[in-house]
Amino acid sequence: MTPQPRTLLDKVWDAHVMATRPDGQALLAIDRHLLHEGSFHAFGMLDHAGRPIRRPDLTFAVADHYVPSRDRQGPIPDPEIANMVSTLARNAGRHGIRHFGLDDRAQGIVHVLAPEQGLTLPGLTIVCGDSHTSTHGAFGALGFGIGATEVAHVLATQALWQRRPKTLRVGIDGVLDPHVTAKDVILAIIAVIGAGGAVGHVLEYAGSAIRGLSMEGRLTICNMSIEAGARAGMIAPDDTTFAFLEGRPYAPAGAMFDEAVAAWRQLPSDAGARFDREVTLDASAIAPTVTWGTSPETALPVTERVPDPGAESDPTKAGQMRAMLDYMGLTPGMPLESVAIDRVFIGSCTNSRIEDLRAAAGVLRGQKALVPGLVVPGSGPVRRQAESEGLDQVFREAGLEWGEPGCSMCVGINGDLVPAGERCASTTNRNFPGRQGPNARTHLMSPAMAAAAAVTGRLTDIRRLGSR
Amino acid sequence: MQPFTTLQAVAVPLAVANIDTDQILPARFLKKPRSAGYGNFLFHDERRRSEAVPLDEPAYAGAGILVTDRNFGCGSSREGAVYALVDGGIRCVIAPSFGDIFASNAAKNGLLTVTLPEEAVAALRTRLAAEPGAAVTVDLPAQTVTDPDGAAVPFEIDPFKKRCLVEGLDDVALTLEHADAIAAYEARAAAETPWRVPATVG
């Protein structure tokens, strides 16, 4: 009997099922459990129930959400924020969990750090109490975000009950314009699928344009799967993946690495594997992209105009568009390139890797930013690499601040907020109302596009400005 | 967890799609201990800013149900968004679709998410907007939503999720019944795929 062709998701899923319930839910083994400061609820639940942690050796704690971007010499001034950082250290310490704290040279955003340290590997199941855990799918892992009760469940059992998700293959063939990046690609995908279009699905990104991306670009793509409603996004591992992983601290080494690569080569979806849905995009048709509204699905080529709710036939949708335009302070029909910005932010688990910083610096080299801005590298290693290449000097000379690694102004809970009413060109993942601060206005875009906006003070087509 | 059976409560129509968990619980409240009670943080900024979130209108005092639009609870995995709803008195949200992580978090905290077709939800919102303060009845064992005029609509729900909600079950205790399967699997995985275990770092 010929075996049924299987998808990448099928292969990872099947290898992790430990038990199946009559209702079809599977008890999945979890290979990596990543924690950040928000895990305090889950530790509280475990303490309350008096339960031990089953596999501290598979659990890794990273301080990223509340860590300061500036001045790490003294104590954190806000006692509530300081408490979040110290509570994680304490919970990790008492349970014997490896903790990447403020004083650790590897510290960074959990979704930047784990791949960098070789914790993220093809074929693994990876969970974290953070929706952007979808990032790790860039390696052909099944990574997804979970809530606090599920975090407590994984701490206690190293397992999760899950129903096998549906699959949606996103095929992107062709060649990207040199100024079009992974960020533009994923924004274009979300615009097609919709913010809730992939609910209940795992996305598999495939096609020549995806194969041509670096690991940094693939991480950016998978990172924003959740903004299309997909709990996870995956890309088949290949030689680009294996080359990235070799020699990483927690990755297998020597003969074990070769054995792993042999296993990883079996992971890509088989020819003829069936997906529940399929969407295709033409890579050459994707333009530098920005969002205009308060949902990532409101992504448009930067050459377009702000849409007109009057042209929308559904009155509910038209009302929702008006509410978004009102929040964003935009007028229907105005060219996106005429929108003036107050600030830029370059960072976040979406776009804070070395390639992102190189792209932004490429635009800013020898230029002055017309607006204030903050550049926050994704990790200590990224920060040191950028400094060795002189990128920090480029940013500083342009008038931007150069920060210490963490989530920073993407979510603002370390105190890095966009002031109310201000408009920020941001390389982050969410333009939700209040996301970067109460009444802050966010336009999502690539690092090069954010840098271009800094130079002109407006949303700007990077192709017009060019890299210098 | 508080068991959920039948709920008759004032229902608030929210004609907004893609309501994300940042709107339900702004991130600056995430560091609050659960014991502080999250009810005061529910839609903290949106209810002050947007007419589309009329939670403070007197007619909606004591509301227990939200009737909203597609993709409710998208975005961040923060379970605090569910705590804010539950602590704020909301025991059921009715929508055409939900963010996956939100729906999972909701079920674990006694918050029922009811998925109905887009037209049915829109009709219910219109009916509620015409009579602010009208009550809706949600019967989980019977799997029906009954509008203020007594018209009932059936809904589908995962049988296990239903059982957990109705009985208020603790997931971890149920999973630990499979401890032998977990141990056997771990032993096999360690032998067959040793590369899955993180390398030892000095």
Please write the tens of the pLDDT for every residue from B16-31. Answer: 999 999 999 999 999 9
pLDDT digits (tens, 9 = 90+) for A151-196: 999 999 999 999 999 999 999 999 999 999 999 999 999 999 999 9
- A113 and A182 in a single domain? The answer is yes
Where a domain ends, among A222, A254, A277? A277
Residue A118's pLDDT band (boundaries 50, 70, 90)? very high
**CB-CB under 8 Å, B99 with A229:** yes
- A432 and A376 in a single domain? The answer is yes
What is the distance in angstroms between the CA of the first residue and the CA of the last residue of chain B? 43
| Secondary structure letter of residue A140 according to DSSP | T
Record: fold of B6-169: Aconitase; domain 4 (3.20.19)
Name B48's Cβ contacts closer than 8 Å, sequence gap at least 6: none
Element (H, E) at A373: strand A373-375
* Amino acid at site A393: Q
Name A356's Cβ contacts closer than 8 Å, sequence gap at least 6: A216, A220, A346, A427, A447
Of the residues B195, B197, B200, B201, the best mutation for testing chain A's interface (the one with the most A CB atoms within 10 Å of its CB) is: B195
Can you read off the two tokens belonging to residue A5?
Answer: 């062709």
**CB-CB under 8 Å, A57 with B198:** yes
Distance from CA of A458 to the nearest CA of B (A): 27
- A260 and A114 in a single domain? The answer is yes
pLDDT at A1 over 80: no
pLDDT over 70, % of chain B: 100
Distance from CA of A323 to the nearest CA of B (A): 8
Residue numbers in chain B where pLDDT is lower than 50 = none
Domains contained in chain A, number: 2
**CB-CB under 8 Å, A44 with B159:** no
**CB-CB under 8 Å, B69 with A316:** yes
**CB-CB under 8 Å, A83 with B77:** no
Which DSSP string do the residues of chain B spell out, in sequence order?
A: -----EEEEEEEE---SS-BHHHHS-GGGTTS-GGG-SGGGTTTTHHHH-TT--TTSGGGTT--EEE--SSBTBS---THHHHHHHHTT--EEEES-B-HHHHHHHHTTT-EEEE--HHHHHHHHHHHHHSTT-EEEEETTTTEEE-TTS-EEE----HHHHHHHHHT--HHHHHHTTHHHHHHHHHHHHHH-GGGSPPP--
Nearest to A49 among B31, B70, B172 (CB): B172
CA distance A65 to B25: 16
- A313 and A189 in a single domain? The answer is no
pLDDT at A467 over 60: no
Of the residues A100, A134, A226, the best mutation for testing chain B's interface (the one with the most B CB atoms within 10 Å of its CB) is: A226
Element (H, E) at A99: strand A98-100
**CB-CB under 8 Å, B175 with A27:** yes
Nearest to A256 among B76, B178, B195 (CB): B195
Task: Please check whether residue B60 is in contact with residue B90, taking contact to mean a CB–CB distance below 8 angstroms.
Answer: no
CA distance A129 to A54: 17
CA distance B145 to B152: 5
ipTM above threshold 0.85: yes
Residue A125: φ, ψ to 5°:
-100, 130
What is the pLDDT at residue B170? 74
Region A350-364 average pLDDT: 98
Residue A77: alpha-carbon gap to chain centroid:
28
Domain-embedded: residue A1 = no
Of the residues A316, A317, A324, A327, the best mutation for testing chain B's interface (the one with the most B CB atoms within 10 Å of its CB) is: A316
3-state secondary structure of A23: coil
How many CB pairs below 8 A link A and B?
191
- A239 and A334 in a single domain? The answer is no
* For chain B, domain boundaries: 6-169
pLDDT digits (tens, 9 = 90+) for A205-223: 999 999 999 999 999 999 9
| Secondary structure letter of residue A212 according to DSSP | T
CA distance B147 to B135: 7
- For residue A154, give the chain B residue with the closest CA: B172
Residue A10's pLDDT band (boundaries 50, 70, 90)? very high
Distance from CA of A451 to the nearest CA of B (A): 26
Which DSSP string do the residues of A252-284 spell out, in sequence order?
A: --THHHHHHHHHHTT-SPPTT---SEEEEEEGG
What is the pLDDT at residue A328? 98
**CB-CB under 8 Å, A150 with B34:** no
pLDDT digits (tens, 9 = 90+) for A146-157: 999 999 999 999
| Secondary structure letter of residue A130 according to DSSP | S
Which DSSP string do the residues of A288-350 spell out, in sequence order?
A: -EEE-SSSTT-EEETTSB---GGG-S-HHHHHHHHHHHHHHT--TT-BGGG-B-SEEEE-TTT
Mean pLDDT check: name the lowest of A203-212, A392-401, A422-431, B165-174.
B165-174
CA distance A74 to A66: 15
- A127 and A180 in a single domain? The answer is yes
pLDDT over 90, % of chain A: 97
3-state secondary structure of A158: coil
- A132 and A190 in a single domain? The answer is yes
Strand pairing class (A232-234; A201-206): parallel
Secondary structure tally for chain A: helices H, strands E: 16, 19
Residue A446: φ, ψ to 5°:
-80, 165
List B residues 5-24 in contact with A (Cβ-Cβ < 8 A).
15-18, 20, 22-23
**B134 class by beta-carbon count within 10 Å (0-12 exposed, 13-18 middle, 19+ buried):** middle
- A251 and A380 in a single domain? The answer is no
Question: Which residues from B are below 8 Å from A199, CB to CB?
Answer: 71, 97-100
Where a domain ends, among A253, A277, A301? A277
Task: Please check whether residue A62 is in contact with residue A45, taking contact to mean a CB–CB distance below 8 angstroms.
Answer: no
Domain-embedded: residue A282 = no
Sign of dihedral through CA atoms A389, A394, A397, A402? Answer: negative
**CB-CB under 8 Å, B74 with A80:** no
Residue A260: φ, ψ to 5°:
-65, -45
Region A216-240 average pLDDT: 98
Can you read off the two tokens belonging to residue A348?
Answer: 């976040």
**CB-CB under 8 Å, A231 with B100:** yes
pLDDT at A307 over 60: yes
What is the pLDDT at residue A466? 57
**CB-CB under 8 Å, B27 with A435:** yes
- A356 and A419 in a single domain? The answer is yes
* Closest C-alpha to B47, from B69, B30, B23, B78: B23
pLDDT at A75 over 80: yes
- A250 and A357 in a single domain? The answer is no
**Structural domain span for residue A351:** 291-465
- A32 and A108 in a single domain? The answer is yes
Domain-embedded: residue A285 = no
**CB-CB under 8 Å, B22 with A435:** yes
Region A399-421 average pLDDT: 98
CB atoms closer than 10 angstroms to residue B52: 17
CA distance B195 to A257: 7
- A386 and A244 in a single domain? The answer is no
Q: Where are the alpha helices (DSSP H) in A34-109?
A: 40-49, 79-95
Distance from CA of A441 to the nearest CA of B (A): 14
Domain-embedded: residue A284 = no
What is the pLDDT at residue A462? 97
Can you read off the two tokens belonging to residue B106?
Answer: 């909701």
Residue A277: alpha-carbon gap to chain centroid:
23
What is the pLDDT at residue B69? 97
Domain-embedded: residue A404 = yes
Please report, for the domain that includes residue A142, its CATH number.
3.30.499.10
Task: Please check whether residue A215 is in contact with residue A121, taking contact to mean a CB–CB distance below 8 angstroms.
Answer: no
Domain-embedded: residue A374 = yes
Region A279-283 average pLDDT: 98
